[in-house]
Structure 1
Amino acid sequence: MIEPKMIGLVTTLGGIDLAGHYRPVFAQHAPELELRTPDEVDDRGAVRFVFTFRPADDAFDGLTGLRAIFSAGAGTDAIMACPSRPAHVPVFRVEDADQALQMAGYAAFHVHWHHRNMARYVVQQQRGEWSRVVKGLSPTYRLVGVLGFGHMGRAIARGLMALGYPVAGYSRRPPEPPEPGVEHFQGDGLDAFLARADMLVNVLPLTENTRGLIDAGFLGRLPAGAALIHMGRGGQVDEAALIAALDSGHLSGASLDVFEIEPLPPDDPVWRHPKILVTPHVASIPEPAFVVRAIRQRMRQIAGQDAPAG
């Protein structure tokens, strides 16, 4: 059983009032869990979980009774980097079927956008010009590489295969179980994976190994005419190298959803590049009810593990 009114600490998210947004949802779907802001907590030792995304450096100070930390988004890099985070407390990212479907839909749209030359037709419409590309329209002509093959990567691969695209996936270790129909690469097979990827969908987390990963050398290992769909984390793509690859013609296009600085500054050159489609970090937006239900289920599991054997 969950103890009555298990207290959770909530922080803001990029100026969004998470407490105000989520309190009604917790009240409806997890009444045992009480969400409080830092200024509403008198006894920090009584806090059992934290719901956050970019915590302040001292966010976890004094939380001696903490049992779990939950991310308000798919990423956990800012939480993991927080200097006051207690290393023994598990950190859980948002992983639900609905968010995976959102990511799969976003990837499918942008793969299709680049494969079928949709940017060209937008320009032609503005000019009233009727001109068609009639070759290479079948999805079988474009192998899609999914870089990062966890919960989200697997959903993206399934969605793309359902549309007829051949798919390859790259991960540090072989996925368990392997995804039927996907050509899997791992470990030192990155170069071989990139050489096959006519469309590259990046959903890697941000780590020391992935920061700045997509640089000039990386992009140069993609096939000529490839496109990049970047859905991972800000800080992974070298924008100058990407623009150079687009301007040279080595890459045919790019879609960017995440950036190191968000909101993206108005003077950033990617806004106006004719081969780049920019979206404001909307590849997936967690549905509050699903997030709260997942937190409730996890806290029930933790409470059960903490209960004395009898």
Structure 2
Amino acid sequence: MSLDSSLLEADSQNDEKLGALVFYSKFDDPDEWTQALRAYLPDLDIRVYPDVGNPSDVLYALAWQPPEGFFKSFENMKLVVNLGAGVDSLVGRNDLPDLPICRLSDDGMLALMRSYVTFAVIRYARDMPAFEAAKRRKEWHYIHPTPLDQIKVGVLGLGTLGSEVAQGLAQTGFDVRGWDLSPKNLPAVKTVCDPEQWTSFLGDLDILVNMMPLTPKTRGLIDASVFAALKPGTNFINASRGDVVDEAALIDALRSGQVGGATLDVFIKEPLEPDHPFWEMENVYITPHLASITVPTSAAKNVAENIRRVNAGLEPLHQVNPKAGF
């Protein structure tokens, strides 16, 4: 659904009736967000936690991983906007009232995730780990390139980010297959949701990309049985959530060669502890949970429209179900 320009063009007199928004994130710049939001809602009262003033004034929250009890004092809250794609931090809370919860729709975030996964897939497709190792040996090591359309890439999870990743890889020229819990129809991507085809889906891949959200059903989903179903030497990329993967099983698969290499942006415990085996494994490429970030200048328009919609008595866009986890 496209943004409603009539709501975005409401006059300043109506803006004064919007109430206050509370902002919380340990990872995002509140000043940058304040500036971005005020480009659309110049009179919105923006308060940065814990300096919230009178909690009764707060009608909206823009938050990422808020602490337990965060929502209890905001008795008049109408809307929660999750400052990111994954809503797992909002699952199972006892302080969250029954109100609309939305994820951000951010073209900048989509572009960053697409670029990260495309980079990681190309790195394996073009044998860059072997060339990196050859450089350390000062060895001129030639490997004949494999045509991209002969490289089978599987994407687990075809939500907003997963679909963007799968279509980006297909546009780059890879043979892309997608798996999701429900039927999906994506151009140039062969999609599967039949549990009977799970093992055959995995066994036909050269590279497996995890884009599954973290939910009670997906926690530990990628376990020893998944790695055993892959062809020996298949490479693995995780740009979703660390808890979707059984790390001990992945370590065993990497050590045995069943998984040829792994590119990991997310982990069960972050930051990754200094004594974690991943640090010492030459076939593991580590990045510190930065595959995709929210870009305030591109995401603020969506936040502003949802505030206007709720204030006008309309349903907000991009709602999520925290009980389901997506």
Could you state the TM-score of these two structures normalised by the residue count of structure 1?
0.91
Contact 2:157 2:212 (8 Å CA) reproduced: yes
Confirm whether residue 193 of structure 1 aligns to residue 201 of structure 2: yes
Residue 98 to residue 19, structure 1, CA distance change in 2 (3 Å): closer
Residue 32 to residue 219, structure 1, CA distance change in 2 (3 Å): farther
Match of 1:9 among 22, 25, 29: 22
Contact 2:108 2:299 (8 Å CA) reproduced: no
User: Structure 2 stretches of 5 or more lacking a match?
Assistant: 1-9, 316-326
User: What is the CA–CA distance in structure 2 between the aligned matches of 1:264 and 1:20, rounded to whole Å?
Assistant: 29
User: What is the CA–CA distance in structure 2 between the aligned matches of 1:83 and 1:291, rounded to whole Å?
Assistant: 28
Confirm whether residue 202 of structure 1 aligns to residue 210 of structure 2: yes
SS of the aligned residue for 1:179 comes to coil
Match of 1:45 in 2: 56
Confirm whether residue 182 of structure 1 aligns to residue 189 of structure 2: yes
Provide the alpha-carbon RMSD of the alignment.
Answer: 1.9
Contact 2:21 2:59 (8 Å CA) reproduced: yes
Q: CA deviation at 1:199?
A: 0.9
Contact 1:19 1:35 (8 Å CA) reproduced: no
Deviations 1:230-266 (A, max 9, x none): 0111211122211211121111111000112111112
Deviations 1:17-62 (A, max 9, x none): 6434422322334323222134433332221111111111111113
Q: Which amino acid aligns with 2:129?
A: A
How is 1:1-310 mapped onto 2 (pairs within 5 angstroms)? 2-4=14-16, 5-13=18-26, 16=27, 18-86=29-97, 88-134=98-144, 137-175=146-184, 178-188=185-195, 189-305=197-313
Contact 2:22 2:48 (8 Å CA) reproduced: yes
User: What is the CA–CA distance in structure 2 between the aligned matches of 1:34 and 1:94, rounded to whole Å?
Assistant: 20
SS of the aligned residue for 1:305 comes to coil
Q: CA deviation at 1:304?
A: 2.3
Deviations 1:55-104 (A, max 9, x none): 11111113222111111221111023332011x21221223222112111
Identify the range of structure 1 (161-170 vs 185-194) with the bigger mean alpha-carbon deviation.
Answer: 185-194
Match of 2:324 in 1: none
User: What is the CA–CA distance in structure 1 between the aligned matches of 2:166 and 2:49, rounded to whole Å?
Assistant: 41
User: What is the CA–CA distance in structure 2 between the aligned matches of 1:90 and 1:18, rounded to whole Å?
Assistant: 24
User: What is the CA–CA distance in structure 2 between the aligned matches of 1:77 and 1:120, rounded to whole Å?
Assistant: 36
Residue-pair matches, total: 301
Q: CA deviation at 1:171?
A: 0.9
Contact 2:154 2:202 (8 Å CA) reproduced: yes
Structure 1 ranges of 4+ moved more than 4 A: none
Q: Which amino acid aligns with 1:141?
A: Q
Contact 2:116 2:291 (8 Å CA) reproduced: yes
User: What is the CA–CA distance in structure 2 between the aligned matches of 1:228 and 1:39, rounded to whole Å?
Assistant: 40
User: What is the CA–CA distance in structure 2 between the aligned matches of 1:39 and 1:104, rounded to whole Å?
Assistant: 34
